[in-house]
Amino acid sequence: MIITRTPFRISFFGGGTDYPDWYNNNPGAVISTTINKYCYITCRPLPPFFDYKYRIRYHKKEETKNIQEIKHPSVRECLKYTKTTQGLEIVHHADLPARSGLGSSSTFTVGMLHALNALHGKMISKRQLTLDAIDIEQNIIKENVGSQDQTNAAFGGFNHIEFNKTKKIIVNPIILSKMKISKISSHLMLFFTGFSRTASDISKHQITAIKKNKIDMTHNYELVEEAKKILNKNYFIKDFGNLLNEQWRIKKSYTNKITNPEINSIYKTGITSGAYGGKLLGAGGGGFILFIIDPKYQNRLKNKLKKLLHVPISLESLGSQIVYYSNADI
């Protein structure tokens, strides 16, 4: 049996510049971090006593005789990609719901690939795990995703990630003191607004617009450079929050599907309650909203947003991990 634990992520700046259609022609970069909320994949050989070969559990239940019958696209294509032919039971658990703006689909794919490589007795590098997950999602499944989510899930940590037309991904860990890391964690508040039903459509719209030169992500890229400068300051958290507010303003301008009156009201409540800034995570339309707010104002914001689920978080640095491995039944 093998169990992988792979973290979800929060993207602060540069989202959209990690789409290949952008960074194949322009410089791309993001500043993002993984958090202490995880996707777990359990994988074990299935005894040959059943009339099916694959038993898969996520929010649905699948029992199939061959790989091609598997409906979950990531499970199906990861099995094919790793040339896994033995019967398996695959079970997915997660601390947070899917399609909520935290890179869940890519986190799943990275965790799945990590487990299957271990099943084959292979110790795959974080970089190869990243590249394989990107290949599966972008080129095989044809998901409307960029390249930061897979990178974050595999590497973990608080990073400045660069993308360029050579398809080389450069992961630069952001070096911060323990005090600064603690300050950032203590100022983050994450609320669940509800499921996003339009995220894939929004991403598709943005990718199409980039191809037609109707969206310019240059300002997003410039905010990444500005954020790096801010993080080097001794007193940085307010400016970091203010810059996140600017990122949200830019993001909203791309399409009217990203936000709605309810989300706008939630965001306004955050700002009037003392938040320096915030943003809706992921493509938009719902999911999680993040605020950067002084701890002394956080109870006030929780009370004003008491209809929403508040999810306490802190930063994570390990990336995808094998947390249980036993080759006795492999």
Q: What tokens does 103 get?
A: 């890179």
Residue 229's identity, in one-letter code, is: K
pLDDT in tens, 103-157: 999 999 999 999 999 999 999 999 999 999 999 999 999 988 999 999 999 999 9
Q: How confident is the model at residue 200 (pLDDT cuts 50, 70, 90)?
A: low
Confidence class for position 204, pLDDT limits 50, 70, 90? confident
Q: Judging by beta carbons within 10 Å of its beta carbon (0-12, 13-18, 19+), is residue 6 exposed, middle or buried?
A: buried
The CATH topology of domain 2-175+317-329 is Ribosomal Protein S5; domain 2 (3.30.230)
pLDDT surpassing 70 at residue 276? yes
pTM: 0.94
DSSP state of 47: P
Architecture of domain 187-313: 2-Layer Sandwich (3.30)
Helix 73-81 crosses helix 104-119 at what angle (to 10 degrees)? 30
Q: Determine the Cα–Cα distance for residues 274 and 284; give it in Å rounded to an integer.
A: 23
CB atoms < 10 A from the CB of 231, how many?
19
Q: Are 74 and 134 in contact (CB under 8 A)?
A: no
Please state which of the ranges 8-17, 164-173, 200-209 shows the lowest mean pLDDT.
200-209
pLDDT > 70: percent of the chain: 95
Q: Nearest-CA neighbor of 161 among 31, 35, 26?
A: 31
- Domain map (residue ranges) of the chain: 2-175+317-329, 187-313
What pLDDT band is residue 57 in, cutting at 50, 70 and 90?
very high
| pLDDT reported for residue 273 | 97
Q: Are 300 and 275 in contact (CB under 8 A)?
A: no
pLDDT of residue 168: 84
Higher pLDDT, 214 or 226: 226
Do residues 275 and 301 make contact, with C-beta atoms less than 8 angstroms apart? yes
Residues near 281 by beta carbon (within 8 Å), at least 6 away in sequence: 10, 11, 100, 101, 102, 287, 288, 289, 290
